[in-house]
């Protein structure tokens, strides 16, 4: 089991953390874009963004991963790995949820901040970039941390396509050793330790944010 731990589970942890980090990073970018579109005065743009969010939030994540796995390689003009295809699906899902966090973070900023910025001669875009978004980002940083913790656990869905995450490692080791419950116990400990470590650092980060206020 020690050899399997080194070969499979350590690799699985690295794939899981990498997938979660990629998901949250690109999900934040996608979420910000969707948020800006939803808050746009153009009804068509706002409507499309709202419809995308509604569809993603109203369908199972596993279904979205299936769609991403089979559709992304067909849409892109170059060959992509299963890991990339699954990552795209995860990032879009995360982006739609984070867009709501961005929207609430922006709306939490005093509207007087925008008025003051515009009175100084800044355009709407400049005011959003230099005044509103930095304050909104501070408001949603805890939400980004929570999303990372959630995605760590949700990456288990990626094992459906054997991309190398922790649950994929479990399936491989179980098939080689026939130790079902022992492997499940190890996987449970891995996810628990990962989430506890992230929760600990997220808690410290949130306390520092409160102190800086």
DSSP 2-48: HHHIIIIIHHHHHHHHHHHHHHHHHHHHHHHHHHHHHT-S-HHHHHH
Residue 22's pLDDT band, with cuts at 50, 70 and 90, is very high
pLDDT above 60: residue 203: yes
Q: What is the pLDDT of residues 56-94, one digit of tens each?
A: 999 999 999 999 999 888 888 888 888 999 999 999 999
pLDDT at 211: 67
pLDDT at 66: 93
pLDDT above 80: residue 101: yes
Of 101, 113, 199, nearest to 144 (Cα)?
Answer: 101
Look up the CATH number of domain 2-212: 1.10.3720.10
The 8-class DSSP code of residue 130 comes to I
Domain ranges of the chain: 2-212
């Amino acid at each position: 089991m020690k050899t399997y731990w080194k070969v499979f589970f350590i690799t699985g942890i690295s794939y899981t953390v990498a997938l979660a980090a990629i998901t949250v990073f690109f999900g934040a970018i996608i979420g910000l874009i969707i948020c800006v579109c939803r808050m746009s005065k153009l009804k068509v743009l706002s409507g499309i963004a709202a419809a995308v969010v509604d569809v993603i939030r109203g369908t199972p994540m596993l279904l979205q991963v299936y769609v991403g796995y089979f559709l992304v390689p067909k849409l892109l003009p170059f060959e992509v790995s299963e890991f990339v295809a699954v990552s795209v699906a995860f990032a879009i899902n995360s982006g739609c949820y984070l867009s709501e966090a961005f929207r609430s973070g922006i709306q939490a900023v005093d509207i007087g901040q925008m008025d003051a910025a515009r009175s100084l001669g800044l355009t709407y875009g400049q005011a959003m970039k230099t005044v509103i978004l930095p304050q909104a980002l501070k408001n949603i940083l805890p939400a980004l941390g929570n999303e990372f913790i959630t995605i760590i656990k949700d990456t288990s869905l990626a094992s459906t396509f054997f991309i190398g995450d922790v649950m994929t490692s479990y399936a491989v080791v179980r098939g080689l050793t026939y130790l079902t419950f022992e492997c499940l116990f190890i996987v449970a400990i891995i996810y628990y330790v990962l989430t506890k470590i992230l929760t600990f650092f997220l808690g410290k980060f949130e306390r520092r944010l409160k102190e800086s206020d």
